[in-house]
Chain A
């Protein structure tokens, strides 16, 4: 009796879609295929959105001609300049505020006030101050990315295990050696969280900053494409922005893996 039931259950097993049930790549590919089909059938006009195949061709052409790499380099240099300034300022302020009560009283309120003002809202003021050259773009990126680095480093320094600091002090560490050997390494995980945020913010601000009369860079490329209704170039630039975000994340991950190899979660990998 029970055997018969077991037989029936095993024979009544539903048809399975092998592997497809877990194929996460499928829906994006389907979307691309529909998009391509729509473009070929004329449902999606070229001036609204270029076909994926056209975008791929344009991507290739722009790369070969050197137009895309050259403009990308300009944009990357802006982001790097702004981020470098932010790193120096934020690490200095974060350490001063984190390591002393007086520093916190002096610096933290100003940083919190700055935080409540959206950085992008400062754009008009920076244009008035710095004109429409490179300066306002770099300053805008620097200002916007300072806060996430500062805040996380400050929290990291304050979150240090005081028992470790005490042990290090009992072994004669003090002053700068205590900061270098104990406090900075202890705050490093938080610092990396801040850095990751800052890299994301830098790409975001880059997009806006490059709308300010850019003579080169990804923003310049997009603006030109808009004027000539080249939706294929616009999509190519959007793709590059996405790749920039992914690349930034991969960069921080690599840095983290090297610098935080001591963390149990990473040791086990």
Chain B
């Protein structure tokens, strides 16, 4: 029996990660690398020869209709699904924030954050992480008493307290109201620039993807159908350049967006197709 080849390496979180635009310099080894990855359930190929590389500290958003394989890809990177004999490179420390916060209801908030941590001073670390997400006052609360936004912030703290090399976000804001979602976007960006993990955000919200990510991937039928580097400076207002990218991404998703007059076409973004050709 051959052992499945999963390469894990310690991820150096202090190394200066490239700021946006974050096309990783070739010398830096990618945090995540999949080559020709296939995931199959019976006859159904959910992921079909997918190539993916994420640089350390890069914020990547993954867009796709339901059934496009987004969640399967995230579960693979989280180590929740078996990968067989395929080459999957991920950082040794990974953390997931799920759409539903998935806090253990029988553990107080800080114990949820400290889940699975064994070293001394766990409480202090959990406390620091919770303060960072603005929940320093809810340390000893039961999860059932948290609001949706508070639960998701706790889940973020639980992920960040591990100083992950790869942060996986599985539609973490989908169940929140619009106002809370905007606050969470800011929080995630702040935490990301503070800790600089590589991030893979799975979402079906095009605006969210453009607002947050360095690079947006469109997944279709288990393959990367399109890739868009977002070079707009943060914070990103939904201005004309934003709209151009939005329209193009919606196009890749098979949605025809109405053309707005203020659009300045082909500015501020670079589309690269998986074949390698780049279109300015």
| Chain B proximity mask over A252-267: 1 for CB below 8 Å, otherwise 0 | 0000000011111001
Task: State whether A163 touches B102 (Cβ < 8 A).
Answer: yes
Task: State whether B158 touches A263 (Cβ < 8 A).
Answer: no
User: Which of A166, A168, A186, A260 is in CB contact (< 8 Å) with B115?
Assistant: A168
Query: A181: CB under 8 A from chain B?
Result: yes
Task: State whether A173 touches B145 (Cβ < 8 A).
Answer: no
Q: How far is the CA of A194 from the CA of B50 in the complex (A)?
A: 50
Given contacts A170-B96, A171-B95, contact A263 B144 (CB under 8 A): yes
Query: B21: CB under 8 A from chain A?
Result: no
Q: How far is the CA of A216 from the CA of B142 in the complex (A)?
A: 48
Q: How far is the CA of A169 from the CA of B81 in the complex (A)?
A: 11
Q: How far is the CA of A98 from the CA of B144 in the complex (A)?
A: 26
The number of inter-chain residue pairs (CB within 8 angstroms) is: 56
Please name all residues of chain B whose beta carbon is closer than 8 Å to the beta carbon of A263 when the two chains form the complex.
105, 144
Task: State whether B142 touches A262 (Cβ < 8 A).
Answer: yes
Please name all residues of chain B whose beta carbon is closer than 8 Å to the beta carbon of A164 when the two chains form the complex.
102, 104
What is the total number of residues of chain B having a CB less than 8 Å from a CB of chain A? 22
Please name all residues of chain A whose beta carbon is closer than 8 Å to the beta carbon of B104 when the two chains form the complex.
164, 168, 181-182, 185
Please name all residues of chain B whose beta carbon is closer than 8 Å to the beta carbon of A264 when the two chains form the complex.
142, 144-145
Min distance, Cβ A56 to any Cβ of chain B, angstroms: 45
Q: How far is the CA of A1 from the CA of B145 in the complex (A)?
A: 55
Q: Which of B69-104 contact A (CB under 8 A)?
A: 78-80, 94-96, 98, 100, 102, 104
Please name all residues of chain A whose beta carbon is closer than 8 Å to the beta carbon of B144 when the two chains form the complex.
262-264, 267
Task: State whether B145 touches A267 (Cβ < 8 A).
Answer: yes
Please name all residues of chain B whose beta carbon is closer than 8 Å to the beta carbon of A172 when the two chains form the complex.
116
Q: Which of A72-87 contact B (CB under 8 A)?
A: none
Give the residue among A185, A188, A262, A264 with the most B Cβ atoms within 10 A.
A262
Q: How far is the CA of A139 from the CA of B44 in the complex (A)?
A: 55
Task: State whether A166 touches B80 (Cβ < 8 A).
Answer: yes
At the interface, is chain A mostly helix, strand, loop or mixed? helix
Query: B223: CB under 8 A from chain A?
Result: no
| Chain A proximity mask over B114-130: 1 for CB below 8 Å, otherwise 0 | 01100000000000000
Min distance, Cβ B166 to any Cβ of chain A, angstroms: 12
Please name all residues of chain A whose beta carbon is closer than 8 Å to the beta carbon of B96 when the two chains form the complex.
167, 170
Please name all residues of chain A whose beta carbon is closer than 8 Å to the beta carbon of B115 when the two chains form the complex.
168, 171, 173, 181
Q: How far is the CA of A186 from the CA of B95 in the complex (A)?
A: 23
Min distance, Cβ B156 to any Cβ of chain A, angstroms: 13
Min distance, Cβ A178 to any Cβ of chain B, angstroms: 9
Please name all residues of chain A whose beta carbon is closer than 8 Å to the beta carbon of B143 when the two chains form the complex.
262
Min distance, Cβ B175 to any Cβ of chain A, angstroms: 13
User: Which of A170, A171, A173, A262 is in CB contact (< 8 Å) with B105?
Assistant: A262
Q: How far is the CA of A260 from the CA of B115 in the complex (A)?
A: 19
Give the residue among A172, A260, A263 with the most B Cβ atoms within 10 A.
A172
Query: B215: CB under 8 A from chain A?
Result: no
Query: A177: CB under 8 A from chain B?
Result: yes
Please name all residues of chain A whose beta carbon is closer than 8 Å to the beta carbon of B100 when the two chains form the complex.
163
Q: Which of B128-181 contact A (CB under 8 A)?
A: 142-145, 158, 162
| Chain B proximity mask over A178-197: 1 for CB below 8 Å, otherwise 0 | 00011001101000000000
Task: State whether A177 touches B116 (Cβ < 8 A).
Answer: yes
Min distance, Cβ B230 to any Cβ of chain A, angstroms: 28
Please name all residues of chain B whose beta carbon is closer than 8 Å to the beta carbon of A177 when the two chains form the complex.
116
Query: B41: CB under 8 A from chain A?
Result: no
User: Which of B79, B98, B102, B106 is in CB contact (< 8 Å) with A188?
Assistant: B106
Please name all residues of chain B whose beta carbon is closer than 8 Å to the beta carbon of A267 when the two chains form the complex.
142, 144-145
| Chain B proximity mask over A219-235: 1 for CB below 8 Å, otherwise 0 | 00000000000000000
Query: In chain A, what residue has the closest Cβ to B79?
Result: A170
Q: How far is the CA of A188 from the CA of B98 in the complex (A)?
A: 25
Query: In chain B, what residue has the closest Cβ to A186?
Result: B106
Q: How far is the CA of A181 from the CA of B107 in the complex (A)?
A: 9
Show 25 residue pairs from A and B whose CB-CB distance is below 8 angstroms, ordered by the A residue. Answer: A163-B98, A163-B100, A163-B102, A164-B102, A164-B104, A167-B102, A169-B80, A170-B78, A170-B79, A170-B80, A170-B94, A170-B96, A171-B95, A171-B115, A171-B162, A172-B116, A173-B116, A181-B104, A185-B106, A262-B107, A262-B143, A263-B144, A264-B142, A264-B144, A267-B142
Known: A260-B106, A264-B145, A267-B145. 14 other contacts (CB 8 A): A163-B100, A164-B104, A166-B80, A168-B104, A168-B116, A170-B94, A170-B96, A173-B116, A181-B115, A181-B116, A262-B105, A262-B108, A263-B105, A267-B144
